């Protein structure tokens, strides 16, 4: 069973938080020189995490890195005193409330990039707002002082978080998990780690070096997530979520001397787009991608371009993959895509839910594919084998479509 890139990054976030927490409780084992260096590490790692989205045009990742850098600066400058004192209590209360709210906002805000005014605002306003609010509290010691002390006094057990703060961090963490898994949002993977690490840091803020260790872990996590996200964008097709042509060429370099290659093309795809529209055409491509990604024989699936896909079988001959490809062709041909009549849909959602499944005003779309197959015994470079597979593919189309042809 394959694990999605989003799941990998969520696991990375959880492991990073767990390792940082373990290090906090085992820090007495660290050398004294390293302990003295710990408070400076976030000031090195967070700017590194900040530079990557700055050059890759990602406003939400940049906003997070700036916000975390600002939060750590406030902790180092204002939370080294006892929490019952002012302004430490005020700054602590501010961080406990504002940080999870910002994480929640960044999850649901759309990504505009840094070339758009809204993207620049998203990138800068969270950190600037936090910094200005903190300076306002420092300049006005009486402002929110009683509320802050009450918040600390109402902490849950030995944890310094109040019920409100705990709920906010829990909500941010849950929303980040939902967005990462079900909406496949790249930023949400960073938000998972941020919500969890911030909650641990603020909950046990009086543990020695906890902010330095946790924010060091956060800097590493943001760098890993942003880098892996860029890798995913570069090597995966956005529509079908399988490897793209760049990923295919990279995989070919490690294919060895024995492999087979299958070029797969959706039959009559232009007619599907012309008759039913590009939305349904995209849905058809997702169906085909889903089918080919489940092929056995150790195959790796790629979208080559347009309605053309590719399967790479490492260590397999043409004869060894024929049955798998025939099963794939049959599975796609037997798949019924239901096309519902939009005019038959009621305007009111409640009425639509009541009548769901009752309407018969729909038609079925039958998808078929043609397949061209070649293996490395044909000789030549990988690019030449692709051309041979393409020629076999067009022979399959010329022979009536919905069939396999071999080079």
Annotated catalytic residues are 307
Structure tokens at 91: 């700054």
Closest CA relative to residue 98, chosen from 58, 151, 19, 140: 151
Cβ neighbours, 10 Å, residue 187 = 23
CA 71/CA 198 separation, integer angstroms: 10
Secondary structure (DSSP) of 120-178: HHHHHHHHHHHHHHHHHHHH-TTTTHHHHHHHHHT--TTSS--HHHHHHHHHHHHHHHH
The closest of 130, 131, 79, 138 to 105, measured between CA atoms, is 130
Strand partners, 308: 265, 305
The DSSP letter of residue 236 is: B
Query: Three-state DSSP class for 285?
Result: helix
Sheet holding 299-305, edge to edge: 299-305, 308-314, 259-266, 369-375, 404-406
Please report the sign of the dihedral spanned by the C-alpha atoms of residue 244, residue 250, residue 253, residue 257: negative
């Amino acid at each position: 069973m394959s694990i999605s890139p989003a799941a990998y990054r969520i696991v990375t976030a959880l492991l990073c938080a767990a390792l940082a927490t373990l290090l906090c409780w085992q820090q007495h084992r660290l050398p004294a020189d390293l302990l003295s260096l710990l408070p400076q590490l976030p000031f090195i790692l967070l700017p590194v995490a900040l530079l990557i989205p700055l050059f890759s045009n990602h406003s939400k990742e940049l906003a997070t890195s700036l916000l975390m850098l600002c939060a750590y600066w406030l902790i180092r400058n204002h939370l080294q005193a006892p929490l019952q004192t002012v302004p430490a209590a005020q700054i602590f209360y501010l961080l406990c409330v504002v940080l999870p709210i910002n994480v929640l906002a960044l999850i649901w805000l759309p990504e505009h990039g840094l070339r758009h005014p809204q993207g620049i605002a998203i990138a800068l306003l969270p950190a600037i707002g936090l910094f200005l609010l903190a300076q306002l509290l420092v300049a006005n010691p009486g402002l929110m002082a009683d509320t802050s002390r009450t918040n600390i006094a109402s902490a849950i057990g030995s944890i310094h978080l109040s019920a409100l703060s705990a709920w906010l961090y829990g909500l941010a963490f849950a929303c980040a998990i939902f967005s990462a898994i079900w909406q496949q949002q790249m930023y949400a993977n960073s938000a998972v780690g941020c919500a969890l690490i911030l909650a641990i840091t603020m909950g046990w803020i009086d543990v020695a070096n906890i902010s330095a260790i946790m924010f060091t872990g956060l800097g590493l996590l943001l760098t890993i997530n942003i880098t892996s996200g860029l890798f995913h964008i570069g090597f995966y097709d956005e529509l079908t979520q399988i490897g793209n042509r760049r990923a295919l060429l990279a995989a070919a370099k490690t294919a060895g001397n024995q492999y087979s290659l299958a070029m797969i093309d959706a039959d009559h795809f232009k007619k599907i787009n012309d008759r039913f529209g590009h939305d349904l055409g995209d849905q058809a491509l997702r169906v085909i991608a889903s089918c080919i990604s489940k092929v056995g024989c150790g195959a790796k699936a790629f979208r080559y371009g347009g309605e053309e896909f590719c399967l790479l079988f490492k260590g397999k001959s043409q004869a060894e993959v024929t049955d798998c490809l025939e099963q794939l062709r049959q599975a796609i041909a037997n798949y019924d895509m239901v096309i519902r009549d939009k005019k038959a849909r009621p305007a009111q959602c409640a009425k639509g839910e009541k009548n769901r499944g009752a309407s018969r005003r729909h038609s079925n779309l039958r998808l078929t594919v043609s397949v061209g197959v070649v293996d490395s015994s044909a000789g030549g470079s990988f690019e030449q084998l692709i051309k041979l597979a393409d020629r076999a593919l067009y022979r399959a189309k010329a022979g009536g479509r919905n069939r396999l042809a071999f080079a």
